[in-house]
A and B are shown apart, each in its own frame.
Chain A
């Protein structure tokens, strides 16, 4: 039986993957001229922009979500737990692995837009010539492919594969700066941590499959919901909760159809599986917590960010993190929505710990990238927080924060990249007086930092925080809101201290001394970084003036998917 593939739906992936192959080929066969390096960068950039174009065209297309890689109609009966000829209605009759809906599009768009900035930063990074170009861009495109595929994947296996596609190239990217001790150390740390987390998550995923008998997220959700509502429900309290959170259209319309058919297609085992399910939830959560650097699985962040080249750090902090959150939201909300009683308190505690520990660690940092590393750990906590008070709009708040955060953080990394070319040590003291040496970069960084702190004039960050706070206060997570409030204040301290450094003039002697030895390398390759800073700055400004732009993008499909 031949599957029909909707090539339009997978077009962004194809563009990225093919560009990746093309870059490798070009690198091998292009003559080694002075323009080979920028040329490859431009090809990569074109590929990313092309994929972004496809995503935008998909987004502007009217109509429901696109599905592909579905189980063909004839086979869908064989899928355990799937009642024949029914489902979420119409097109969703059979479970699909790849769905392009609002959720997918916003994450894909985010990853690709961030990808543009990262490619621009890479062009500057690669201009010095110690890093092999072809491999770099190939790996970068692979990561982007994974980041675009991940939010679209709707079965556990594809989810894990996509997540690995995001993670694996990053190890190599980190280590590409050869003969650099810090880089290698970072790569090994990242590799070990990531592999362990993948193993943990795979174990959880296998338990999920074992207890429910399906890998498709929507089927999984159905099975769990049925079990909650059905006679095998472990306890009245939990059953009530399951019924409460699963309030959707399909639930009501489908439940009476399923209860009978479910027993025919898939016999629920006689033993009570809920403890096993809890273990599975915890393991999956732990696996993703590694990916998004949430406490207690955060320890790798500082060393890895500092050791990796700056573009890779930016990639880790935005693209890889966004992918992690996409997977987390998909599994927790789309598949395990009925188990929210189990994971909501866990996520809330993790979120509180993550923001607190991240902020406290960031307080003492003197290295710019390390500070950004811990601050982005803290920001992960803010992103997680709405998931800790699970209600219908919580995921939207998380995604909104993620989008705001991506713009601000990429901007900060872009300026850091610019400065790191002049000051390879990249300590905070190197930023003293930046606003006088290069006013545009200095003011931009101040703006990004104030955005990250969440104060006007950085309204983008402030609105992001308000969205999250609103969710927390409205959803009954007041204690979490208070923790976050205190953390906002802690965070402000280091952001403002950094910003104040930028605006403090330096004695003239020190400046000329600093500029003397490294002036040679700083001239080349600042144009792409400048464009990156301008891009991120413009986006952050737009988000500040009209935050509604982001709020309009937010998907509502996900709520229905539960």
Chain B
């Protein structure tokens, strides 16, 4: 059963290795059908455990498979699914499926269609192959119940993700991909040392047995050492605050599907490791290190939020917001209470859904506008692309934790857990964490709202393309418009950190600029100011908007399930908590 879950995408990928002429003749239609069917079947398979899942304490796993693989290394092919892993498995298969829906259903000239044959060689086969291998790695990580097997699958994702970024990524993809793989490999190797240390101490690699032992057989100092090693390895992947620097670059440069899977699933592998390995197997180590973990978590929350406030690139901003949200997840783990850990697992899933949606939407924006630079996007998206902007608003509001949507419960429960941490942990410190985390939620709300007001509100404006504007600007208002454009272009160049001063200049210059936040996007205002005849300039602006399609059918197909799930989990969190809670209780050794 679980082997089939791994085997279907693997076989699907293997089939692609066989070169076929029929595929080329059909213009890639076969390939797209193949990808859809494989990921769809995998998704359906992952739903089977959900259907028959009874709840209750299922540690050790339903459907467990336990075969010897490498006896010389004690490595067993031990798979199983329980309440902690099941939601993540379903999340993985769902997101992969949706990614393929997004890639496969669109029209040939639609934005983001990496699977379409292109003159410069989009290499659709390779992309499908890579994504399927990636899926195998991700599912395997969540299913593995053997420490080394976990590590093997943990590593499987590295190379495919590297190529997804390095081949299909943005402009600075090479550097971002190298940074991603070196950084995460360093984390993985440290993780491996930690796992082997556990193995050397206890003599077994079986996660179920180790979790049941609750650290028996390991001395306190050994547990601390092992927890630091394992935790550091997982924290790189999560990413925890001082170890996060690979994330923004990777997210910014990755293609849409890469970002979605990276944020939606890959980050979860780190946090899942905390829930599955670090905390249950090394309880004493966890108790010692937890305050540090909590401290790093809240620093991450604040840091992520502040960094978001300073970002100009949408994708980069969402990447930093992930750091903040993963901070909440880590804070939940750091409390070591069932409430906290449940919150962390809930936050995991919620973040996976919401951030996936955010990256989908932002990817769509980037493909339409050709940029994800917030100032360059200008305002007024709600009037130009109403449906896309509404979706963006929805995703942002969900991400900032509006009650009634999925993002709320993870944050709220994590803070609640910090209010009353496990016995043995310093409560005053956790109260401070809680307070700082609360400030973090406010900051999160702040940066999302600021972004929304800059991007979706305001009047629609032409993205500044200086030559275009200069040429269409008729001789009548030419001087005024040109002057404004020149100034705006200069402001873009000033860019970077000094955007505040630039904004001041432009607003002052134009007098009655309506879009308060729009700093360089003053094309519309420029024309008004340039002599009152906005007609000629507004026309090309509208034409520009007309070229951009609003949300298309295939995009809607990929996104609606996410929206539905976000609302569902927000209104009815028990559906998820009732699955995770029994397992969390038993993993934490609570009575």
A residues contacting B by CB (< 8 A) are 439, 450, 455-457, 459, 462-463, 466-467, 469-470, 473-474, 478, 481-482, 485-486, 488-489, 492-493, 496-497, 500, 503-505, 546-548, 551-552, 554
Contact A503 B181 (CB under 8 A): no
Contact B152 A500 (CB under 8 A): no
Q: Does chain A have a CB within 8 A of B163?
A: yes
- Which residues of B from 173 to 226 have beta carbons under 8 Å from A? 174, 177-178, 181-182, 185-186, 189-190, 192-193, 196-197, 199-200
A contact residues around B186 at 8 Å (CB): 485-486, 489
Name the interface size band of chain B: 35 or more
Contact A547 B70 (CB under 8 A): yes
Contact B158 A455 (CB under 8 A): yes
Q: Does chain A have a CB within 8 A of B51?
A: no
Given contacts A473-B193, A547-B72, A551-B72, 7 further A-B contacts (CB under 8 A): A466-B151, A467-B72, A469-B192, A478-B193, A492-B181, A497-B178, A552-B72
B contact residues around A489 at 8 Å (CB): 182, 185-186, 189
A538–B156 alpha-carbon span in the complex (Å): 20
Contact B71 A548 (CB under 8 A): yes
Q: Does chain A have a CB within 8 A of B73?
A: yes
A contact residues around B196 at 8 Å (CB): 466, 469-470, 473-474
Pairs A-B, 10 closest by C-beta atoms: A551-B72, A485-B189, A456-B156, A473-B196, A474-B200, A489-B186, A548-B70, A456-B155, A547-B70, A489-B185
Smallest Cβ-Cβ distance to B190: which chain A residue: A485
14 A-B residue pairings within 8 Å (CB atoms): A439-B19, A456-B137, A466-B196, A469-B196, A470-B196, A470-B200, A473-B199, A473-B200, A474-B199, A485-B192, A489-B182, A496-B181, A497-B178, A504-B167
Q: Does chain A have a CB within 8 A of B159?
A: yes
B contact residues around A552 at 8 Å (CB): 72
B contact residues around A457 at 8 Å (CB): 133, 156, 159
The main secondary structure of chain B at its interface with chain A is helix
Question: How would residues 7 to 39 of chain B score, 1 for a CB under 8 Å from any chain A CB and 0 otherwise?
Answer: 000000000000100000000000000000000
Contact A488 B178 (CB under 8 A): no
- Which residues of B from 524 to 571 have beta carbons under 8 Å from A? none
Q: What is the CB-to-nearest-CB distance from A463 to chain B, in angstroms, rounded to a whole number? A: 7
B contact residues around A488 at 8 Å (CB): 185, 189
A208–B156 alpha-carbon span in the complex (Å): 49
Smallest Cβ-Cβ distance to B166: which chain A residue: A500
- Interface residue from A455, A496, A547 paired with B73 (Cβ < 8 Å): A547
Q: Does chain A have a CB within 8 A of B121?
A: yes
B contact residues around A455 at 8 Å (CB): 155, 158-159, 185
A contact residues around B162 at 8 Å (CB): 496
B residues contacting A by CB (< 8 A) are 19, 69-73, 121, 133, 137, 148, 151-152, 155-156, 158-159, 162-163, 166-167, 174, 177-178, 181-182, 185-186, 189-190, 192-193, 196-197, 199-200
Q: What is the CB-to-nearest-CB distance from A477 to chain B, in angstroms, rounded to a whole number? A: 11
- Interface residue from B151, B159, B200 paired with A450 (Cβ < 8 Å): B159
A496–B159 alpha-carbon span in the complex (Å): 9
Contact A492 B193 (CB under 8 A): no
Contact A493 B73 (CB under 8 A): no
B contact residues around A546 at 8 Å (CB): 70
A478–B190 alpha-carbon span in the complex (Å): 11
Contact B73 A470 (CB under 8 A): yes
Decide: A456 near B72, CB < 8 A? Known: A469-B192, A473-B196, A485-B190: no
Smallest Cβ-Cβ distance to B192: which chain A residue: A469
Q: What is the CB-to-nearest-CB distance from B416 to chain A, in angstroms, rounded to a whole number? A: 38
Smallest Cβ-Cβ distance to A471: which chain B residue: B196
B contact residues around A548 at 8 Å (CB): 69-72
Contact B182 A492 (CB under 8 A): yes
Contact A470 B199 (CB under 8 A): yes
Most buried by A among B148, B155, B182, B185: B185
Decide: A500 near B181, CB < 8 A? Known: A469-B193, A486-B186: no
A contact residues around B156 at 8 Å (CB): 456-457
Contact B73 A467 (CB under 8 A): yes
Q: What is the CB-to-nearest-CB distance from A245 to chain B, in angstroms, rounded to a whole number? A: 19
B contact residues around A503 at 8 Å (CB): 163, 167
Q: What is the CB-to-nearest-CB distance from A113 to chain B, in angstroms, rounded to a whole number? A: 20
Q: What is the CB-to-nearest-CB distance from A455 to chain B, in angstroms, rounded to a whole number? A: 6
Q: What is the CB-to-nearest-CB distance from B75 to chain A, in angstroms, rounded to a whole number? A: 8
Contact A505 B193 (CB under 8 A): no
Contact B193 A466 (CB under 8 A): no
Contact A466 B197 (CB under 8 A): no
A503–B137 alpha-carbon span in the complex (Å): 21
Q: What is the CB-to-nearest-CB distance from A243 to chain B, in angstroms, rounded to a whole number? A: 24
A492–B200 alpha-carbon span in the complex (Å): 26
A289–B152 alpha-carbon span in the complex (Å): 33
Q: What is the CB-to-nearest-CB distance from A362 to chain B, in angstroms, rounded to a whole number? A: 15
Most buried by B among A467, A481, A497, A546: A481
A488–B162 alpha-carbon span in the complex (Å): 17
A478–B201 alpha-carbon span in the complex (Å): 13
Smallest Cβ-Cβ distance to B71: which chain A residue: A548
Q: What is the CB-to-nearest-CB distance from A269 to chain B, in angstroms, rounded to a whole number? A: 43
B contact residues around A500 at 8 Å (CB): 163, 166, 174, 177
Smallest Cβ-Cβ distance to A475: which chain B residue: B200
Q: What is the CB-to-nearest-CB distance from B186 to chain A, in angstroms, rounded to a whole number? A: 5
A46–B199 alpha-carbon span in the complex (Å): 46
A55–B177 alpha-carbon span in the complex (Å): 46
A contact residues around B121 at 8 Å (CB): 505
